[in-house]
Amino acid sequence: MKQIRLKQGREKSLLRRHPWVFSGAIASVEGSPEPGETVIVRSAAGEFLAQAAFSPQSQIRARVWSWNESDVIDPAFLEHRIQQALTLKQAWVDSAQTDAYRMIHAESDGLPGLIVDRYHDTLVLQILSAGMERWRDEIVAILSKMEGVACIYERSDVTVRALEGLPERTGILFGDTGKPTRLIKENGLRFIVDIQNGQKTGFYLDQRENRAFVRQIAQGKSVLNCFCYTGGFSVYALSGGAESVLSIDSSEEAIQLAQENTLLNLGTLDHSEWLVGDVFQELRTLRDRGRQFDRVILDPPKFAPTASQAQKAARGYKDINLLGFKLLKPGGILVTFSCSGGIDASFFQKIVADAALDAGVEAKIVCRLEQAPDHPTLLAFPEGTYLKGLVCQI
């Protein structure tokens, strides 16, 4: 089999079961492997380390399939891994209350570069690596045989594919999409999800448990939900008895869908206020008008996909958190998130601490939040934890 050999001393991360091999760690590539082809990874001394998918254009030159030399990377191997992932997720998701969840979470489920989200009877698939691209047809065939699956739709329309030398791509892979939207249930609530045009794969499934948390602290409170998208946190807050909820997003289409989701669950738009606009500017306007809230939720898009962008992104995070603190009533709670992989938890806490200092408030972290358990993280792969949340009370 074709193989790559590492430089002296560069096997340490693999021995700790980190699943990535970077280009700078490689001494030689033997046999001219094609994009996505399985290769053996060996130490400088020739010892077997792993089997991995080769990606000649990416800085992540190989992604580990298996630590076992006797494994055969074939459709049966993929099907076993997919079934393992599904079994794990079903143990964490109450199917009576929720029919939308992450079925496959890439490296953390032993399927590097593959994301599959389930929305009722529809699977939305995202392929992020050359290795997974090579097995695309086999993966679709495996998924299409699963019980209750009527449709598979691809949302490989993400910029990271360019790093793997892959074009962006979307479209139907199995079944018939019909309308671009799906109706799902989550923790007993219902949401309309646009699988074809929505952000990510249509819905922020990773925030499921955090939305439920907001519902618990919303009773009788005034709530400001920033970057509200299709209204997840807003609907949960209103269903939890919030006195009022102001939701802000730059997308008029997202606000319209958020209103539909509110009507679907509450039957009314009473106690809700909606604002289409730039969140940074709208927060300044609210501050200047003297508006204050009991709860402020900040769930911005990804400001720093990589560590190289972290310092620049920190300014944006600090600005919105500073304004968020200023808009809180005494004793109020800020629920703030970062989904940027380039900003780790300690750096995010520092940013929020600096924002509180500049806002002139004394704040305490009363709770930390993260992605839902259907988005697991391998202990040896901290990159799998990307969503960081702080609940701060002043």
Catalytic residues: 339
In angstroms, what CA-CA distances link 256 with 20, 102, 206, 243, 246? 41, 25, 22, 21, 14
Report the C-alpha gap between 39 and 51 in whole angstroms: 6
